C-alpha cells in the first residue's frame, strides 16, 4: 500500500511527459564480507519519460531520484546517491538479471559493502 501511494505521488508530480515504465526487481541472494545468504529485497525503478531523463527508485525506505544510464548491448544501470552520500548502483542486463550494489559506511566510517542478486521485469 505504501509503495502504491509513493508511485501515485510521483506520477502526480511529474511534469515532463508520461510514465515510460517501471523495472520491478526482486533480489533473493546477498553477498557481503560475512558470506552469501538468502534475502528479500524488492526495488522498483520508475522511468518518468521515454528519454530516461527522470527516474526514481522506490524501496522499503521510500523513494529517491536516480540517474539512469543505458548499457551497450542492452540493459540499464541506475545510480543513486542517498541522503547520507552513500552510492548504490543497480545494473540490469537485457535478460532481466539484476545486481544491486551498496557501498555503505558505518558510523565508524568503515565500509559495509554488499551485493544483492535477482531478477528484474520491465513493465511498460
Domains contained in the chain, CATH given: 2-123 (2.40.160)
Task: Say which DSSP state 89 is in.
Answer: E
pTM for the full predicted model: 0.80
| C-alpha cell recorded at residue 64 | 529517491
User: What is the helix (H) or strand (E) element at residue 42, kind and residue range?
Assistant: strand 35-47
pLDDT for 6 beyond 90: no
Average pLDDT over residues 90-102: 97
pLDDT digits 0-9 by tens, 42-63: 999 999 876 657 899 999 888 9
The model's confidence at residue 85, banded by pLDDT at 50, 70 and 90, is confident
Task: Say which DSSP state 51 is in.
Answer: T
The model's confidence at residue 100, banded by pLDDT at 50, 70 and 90, is very high
* HSE toward the beta carbon, residue 45, CA cutoff 13 A: 27
- pLDDT score at 11: 38
- pLDDT score at 52: 57
Based on the number of CB atoms within 10 Å of its own CB, is 24 exposed (0-12), middle (13-18) or buried (19 or more)? Answer: middle
pLDDT for 27 beyond 90: yes
The helix, strand and coil proportions of the chain, stated in percent and rounded to the nearest 5, come to 10, 60, 30
Amino acid at each position: 500500500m505504501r509503495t502504491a501511494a509513493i508511485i501515485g505521488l510521483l506520477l502526480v508530480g511529474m511534469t515532463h511527459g508520461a510514465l515510460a515504465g517501471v523495472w520491478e526487481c526482486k533480489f533473493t541472494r546477498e553477498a557481503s564480507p560475512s558470506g552469501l545468504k538468502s534475502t528479500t529485497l524488492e526495488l522498483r525503478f520508475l522511468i518518468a519519460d521515454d528519454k530516461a531523463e527522470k527516474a526514481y527508485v522506490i524501496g522499503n525506505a521510500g523513494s529517491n531520484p536516480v540517474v539512469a544510464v543505458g548499457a551497450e548491448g542492452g540493459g540499464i544501470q541506475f545510480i543513486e546517491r542517498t541522503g547520507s552520500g552513500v552510492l548504490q548502483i543497480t545494473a540490469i542486463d537485457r535478460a532481466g538479471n539484476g545486481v544491486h550494489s551498496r557501498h555503505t559506511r558505518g558510523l565508524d566510517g568503515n565500509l559495509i559493502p554488499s551485493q544483492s542478486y535477482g531478477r528484474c521485469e520491465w513493465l511498460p
